[in-house]
Structure 1
Amino acid sequence: MTLPIQQDFSLQAFNTFGIEAQARFFAEVQSNEDLMSLLFFKGFKNIHRLILGGGSNILLTQDFEGLVIKIGIKGIEKIREDEESVWVNVGAGENWHEFVLYCLDNGWNGVENLSLIPGTVGAAPMQNIGAYGVEIKEVFDSLVAINMTNGELRTFTKEECKFGYRESIFKNELKNQYAIVNVTFRLTKKANFNISYGAVAQTLADMGVTTLSAKAISQAVIKIRQSKLPNPEQIGNAGSFFKNPEISKQLFEELKEKYPSIPSYPIDEQRVKVPAGWLIEQCGWKGKRIGNTGTHKDQALVLVNYGGATGQEIKSLAEQIQQSVVEKFGICLSMEVNII
């Protein structure tokens, strides 16, 4: 084994919450071969393993008594194109936002609404990341992942990934079974912009944009995100901690009678999506601090580490928020962040 393996390694710099936790073993891989050799090194045959991307969607609640594998596989390659589309294969370790900027520079459309989302390309399909009316599944073609039990390389199509709202097969039935090594996206050469969600259209108008472009939309999205979400380099957080709940239209109508200002986004004839941030704020949590943790002053959906908080403290806060939302609205909030 030539790959450097570190013991009792601090993960504080590898999670955006800035939680101090240690990995019994830690290694970063730069290629499929590195990953294979690490997965099947006889010394690690029966050890618990954690695949780590950008650390922007995890909450470490304890030391990890196993092997943490940081995916550092890089590379962006255009593999084919036609008159309308271009297919781009990207290493799982590439920074997501830097990939978005690369697409903008090359005139490839489809990911501009997903600007400034933290994390890596490999983590994007696991979570089916989404923002401002666009989800990764809309530009996704396929991915390649390594089976961590037998070393088999498998290609997953969009259908096989079973994408849902912040969901995929890798968060459910195949959780902890595969390590994603590269992702192929199908991007468009022609403009098909989406500015219908949130404050994108208004922000573009405020910016004085008269000719719509992917770069302009990206800049608007960046401006909105920076105004709403705290920078993890300044205060520890993992962005939105909870998913926006989907409820029945009947429950929504009942709630609307009691809370006429409740915002909503219709999904279909039977279901409605309600902003989790609004629900949390109505329960009095916005800007509330408990010890070294709390909710952000500008966005109740974001839990923060003011410095020195443990993962257990943040998890406890999240559970208290869930309980209060259930008691007030009868809605159970699901955590978007992965608890380790």
Structure 2
Amino acid sequence: MVVENNVSLQPWNTFGIAARAQALVRVRSVADLQAVAADAELAPLPKLVLGGGSNIVLTGDVKPVVLKMEIMGLRVLAAGPKAWIIEAAAGQNWHDFVTWTLAQGLPGLENLALIPGTVGASPVQNIGAYGVELQDRFESLDAIDLATGQAFTLDAAGCGFAYRDSVFRHAAAADPGAQTGSGLPRGMGLAGRAVITHVRFRLPRPWKPVLGYLDLERRCVETGVAHPDARQIFDWVCDIRRAKLPDPAVLGNVGCFFKNPTVSPDQCADIIARDPRVVHYPMLDGSFKLAAGWLIEVCGWKGKTIGKAGVYEKQALVLVNRGSNGDSVTGGEVMTLAKAIQTSVYERFGIRLEPEPVVV
């Protein structure tokens, strides 16, 4: 393993926040993680796993040991009559991975194109876009328990997937209870303890397009293409995302900053009665999902700034870095803006917005 000290993290987080890591380990193999777990100095220290840095807000220098995930590899494991099973290593760029699947003639991930970050981070947040969530295409994953160096495998149930959530976003419970077959406590959170090394995906055969999202329905009408193939959907998703979201390489950001809140039918009816324009979507369980970007925009935040943190003028759900490399936004400014937005939305709608990125 390669260990570096006093490392700038500004190039490794898409918000472009200036911060430093006291120690950073470049993880290029499973053996590197096992070496960290066995190292007398590193093993007792808290850890922070860093993939593409596209879902993190750094509020200061990082004291935990940063594990920079750089394990690479792509392969097709099986091509059965009902599904393709493919595997990607944690350090692979997510969008490059999606592009690779289509080049191999393996459709199914096209709706998730252009999501920033790495493959290893995708189950952590249960990424999703345009009608598809990672859990819809998930088979299993491999991870390393940093407390023991032991490798283990989790299926979807073990990952505890929910909307933009999984066991990897939660710390261990105080009383974890019984042990699982992997040796890890049942139901425990794995944040800071387990590191994903490989992820496997199940792509259903025969392939069926997912077109229920409004923007994709509009593209079908506009283009006259009623039955697009996977490549066409991929291109549409890329175009839509580029039109709505800023390129982090040009304008620092972490994509959508807040989760779309879910409310009960009564809550939704109450909000509609007060503002019929509210953007809402019915869910299978009878609840309704509200568009967080719309809530933020009607509260007047679109295009506003606090310090060097701003709300993107084309999409109120995105917070951006209005500073420069030499005078970057701070994590404090970002969170001050985020909390001001949360207060406005709560005071007007009685809804508490929850941030998507991890705040360190």
Spell out the pairing of 1:244-263 with structure 2 (5 A cutoff).
244-263=260-279
After alignment, is 186-195 or 104-113 more displaced? 186-195
Residue 64 of structure 2: SS of its match in structure 1?
strand
Cα pair 2:345 2:353 within 8 Å, conserved: yes
* Structure 1 residue 174: Cα displacement: 1.9
Q: Which residue of 1 aligns with 2:197?
A: 181
1:326 equivalenced with 2:336 (yes/no) = no
What runs of 5+ residues in structure 2 fail to find an aligned partner? 171-188
1:312 equivalenced with 2:328 (yes/no) = no
* Structure 1 residue 269: Cα displacement: 5.5
Cα pair 1:142 1:185 within 8 Å, conserved: yes
After alignment, is 212-221 or 165-174 more displaced? 165-174
After alignment, is 236-245 or 76-85 more displaced? 76-85
1:335 equivalenced with 2:351 (yes/no) = no
Cα distance between partner residues in 1 of 2:20 and 2:130: 36
* Structure 1 residue 207: Cα displacement: 4.4
Cα pair 1:204 1:216 within 8 Å, conserved: no
Q: Which residue of 2 aligns with 1:85?
A: 83
Cα pair 1:277 1:301 within 8 Å, conserved: yes
Amino acid at match of 2:337: L
Cα pair 2:43 2:146 within 8 Å, conserved: no
After alignment, is 13-22 or 82-91 more displaced? 82-91
What runs of 5+ residues in structure 1 fail to find an aligned partner? none
Spell out the pairing of 1:38-49 with structure 2 (5 A cutoff).
38-49=36-47
After alignment, is 84-93 or 207-216 more displaced? 207-216
Q: Which residue of 1 aligns with 2:99?
A: 101
Post-superposition Cα deviations, 1:222-246, rounded to whole Å, max 9, x if no partner, equal 0000000000001110000000000
Spell out the pairing of 1:1-340 with structure 2 (5 A cutoff).
3-172=1-170, 173-207=189-223, 209=225, 211-268=227-284, 270-307=286-323, 308-340=328-360
* Structure 1 residue 205: Cα displacement: 4.2
Cα distance between partner residues in 2 of 1:45 and 1:90: 27
Over aligned residues, Cα RMSD in angstroms? 1.3
Cα distance between partner residues in 2 of 1:29 and 1:211: 43
Residue 67 of structure 2: SS of its match in structure 1?
strand
* Structure 1 residue 180: Cα displacement: 0.1
Cα distance between partner residues in 2 of 1:28 and 1:255: 49
TM-score, normalised via structure 2 length: 0.91
Cα distance between partner residues in 1 of 2:359 and 2:223: 39
Cα distance between partner residues in 2 of 1:269 and 1:140: 21
* Structure 1 residue 65: Cα displacement: 1.3
**Quick one: structure 1 residues 271 and 225, their matched pair in 2 at CA, closer, same or farther if it must change by over 3 Å?**
same
**Quick one: structure 1 residues 211 and 195, their matched pair in 2 at CA, closer, same or farther if it must change by over 3 Å?**
closer
Cα pair 2:82 2:205 within 8 Å, conserved: yes
* Structure 1 residue 45: Cα displacement: 2.5
**Quick one: structure 1 residues 205 and 317, their matched pair in 2 at CA, closer, same or farther if it must change by over 3 Å?**
same
Cα distance between partner residues in 1 of 2:275 and 2:263: 15
Post-superposition Cα deviations, 1:108-146, rounded to whole Å, max 9, x if no partner, equal 121000000000001001110000000000110000010
Residue 182 of structure 1: SS of its match in structure 2?
strand
Cα distance between partner residues in 1 of 2:22 and 2:64: 5
Superposed structure 1 runs of 4+ greater than 4 Å apart: none
* Structure 1 residue 4: Cα displacement: 2.6
Cα pair 1:209 1:216 within 8 Å, conserved: no
Amino acid at match of 2:341: I
Amino acid at match of 2:331: G
Cα distance between partner residues in 2 of 1:46 and 1:82: 44
Give the fraction of aligned pairs with identical amino acids, expressed as a percent. 42
After alignment, is 98-107 or 33-42 more displaced? 33-42
Post-superposition Cα deviations, 1:64-91, rounded to whole Å, max 9, x if no partner, equal 1131111111111111221231111110
